């Protein structure tokens, strides 16, 4: 491990500086920024730590260390510092995710200690739109209500398993995942088309800041794929996101998921960057 200036654990006294860095790239940083704006930087509330690189008043890079390890604006020196802290602490995260260049360098430093990974998604296009959707929204896509939870949960589990490669029920029996699904429903950020007690299309708005919001968990029932439900459903969610949450809507997708990328482009999303994910 290369010797470098040390990182430090940040707290609420660093909030203004942290938000300055996060707001410089509202698309790439929407997940971390949403957490900081919602709960601050105290580790118990944050559900992890925020590491900073640079002295107080001169922060240049961050790394969110919670369920995910997420580098922010991190060049080689900052990555070295974050990797050293992560190595000493031991792996507590289920993934490393963020801008591809930073994640690749961080994984290069950590792989000898944390490897092997269960899966690596080397290229995940980041897409964004600030315009009304280019296709007609599905009028039957609506906000999911609390009484829909038992209908929507199996679709959420299917999406997660298909996307990540393992069931969210692994470990704690799915309690944490069910809690997150319920929370997004409760705060009005879960959308679906439900017919005869079955989810046809669903998606959630998982992160929100004043600048941007991020769509996640996009899923169409396997028997209804290729019939236009994905594009119309995404158009409906984008319309609602622009109306109620933020002026910019973003998401990221695996590069090999060509059908999904085509749907997002049809709706009006454009590729604006690249993420990488290392899954454990």
Residue-wise pLDDT tens digits, 172-229: 888 999 999 999 999 999 999 999 999 999 999 999 999 999 999 999 999 999 999 9
In the chain, pLDDT over 70 holds for what percent of residues?
A: 98
User: Based on the structure, what is the number of domains in the chain?
Assistant: 2
Model pLDDT for residues 224-272, shown as the tens digit of each residue: 999 999 999 999 999 999 999 999 999 999 999 999 999 999 999 999 9
What mean pLDDT do residues 158-184 have? 92
Q: Are residues 250 and 216 in the same domain?
A: yes
- Whole-structure pTM value: 0.94
> Residue 3: pLDDT above 90?
no
Q: Is the dihedral of CA 176, 187, 145, 68 positive or negative?
A: negative
> Residue 4: pLDDT above 60?
no
Q: Are residues 41 and 155 in the same domain?
A: no
What mean pLDDT do residues 111-127 have? 97
* 108-133 per-residue burial string, b: 16 or more CB within 10 A, e: under 16: ebbeeebeebeeebeebbbbbbeeeb
> Could you say which of 65, 95, 116 is where a domain stops?
116
Model pLDDT for residues 53-65, shown as the tens digit of each residue: 998 889 999 999 9
Q: Are residues 149 and 81 in the same domain?
A: no
- At 1, the pLDDT band (50, 70, 90 cuts) reads very low
Asked whether the beta carbons of 61 and 54 are under 8 A apart, the reply is yes
- Give the model's pLDDT for residue 71: 98
- Host domain of residue 59: 8-116
Q: Are residues 27 and 134 in the same domain?
A: no
SS3 217: strand
Model pLDDT for residues 88-108, shown as the tens digit of each residue: 999 999 999 999 999 999 999
């Amino acid at each position: 491990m290369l010797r470098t200036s040390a990182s430090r654990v940040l707290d609420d006294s660093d909030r203004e500086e942290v938000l300055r860095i996060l707001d410089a790239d509202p698309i790439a940083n929407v997940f971390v920024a949403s957490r900081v704006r919602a709960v601050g930087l105290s580790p118990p509330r944050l559900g992890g730590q925020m590491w900073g690189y640079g002295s107080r008043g001169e922060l240049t890079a961050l790394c969110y260390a919670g369920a995910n390890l997420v580098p922010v604006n991190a060049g080689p020196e900052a990555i070295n510092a974050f990797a050293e802290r992560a190595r000493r602490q031991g792996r507590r995260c289920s993934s490393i995710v963020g801008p591809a260049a930073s994640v690749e360098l961080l994984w290069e430093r950590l792989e000898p200690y944390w490897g092997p990974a269960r899966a690596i998604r080397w290229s995940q296009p980041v897409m964004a739109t600030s315009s009304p959707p280019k296709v007609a929204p599905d009028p039957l896509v609506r906000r999911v209500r609390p009484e829909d939870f038992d209908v929507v949960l199996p679709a959420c589990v299917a999406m997660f398993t298909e996307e990540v490669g393992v069931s969210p029920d692994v470990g704690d029996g799915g309690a944490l995942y069910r809690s997150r699904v319920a929370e997004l429903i409760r705060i009005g950020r879960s959308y679906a088309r439900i017919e005869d007690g079955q989810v046809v299309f669903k998606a959630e708005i998982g992160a929100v800041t004043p600048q941007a919001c991020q769509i996640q968990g996009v899923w169409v029932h396997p028997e209804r794929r290729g019939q236009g439900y994905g594009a119309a459903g995404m158009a409906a969610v984008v319309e609602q996101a622009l109306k109620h949450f933020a002026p910019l809507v973003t998401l990221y997708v695996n590069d090999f998921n060509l059908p999904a990328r085509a749907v997002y482009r049809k709706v009006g999303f454009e590729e604006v960057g690249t993420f990488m994910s290392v899954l454990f």
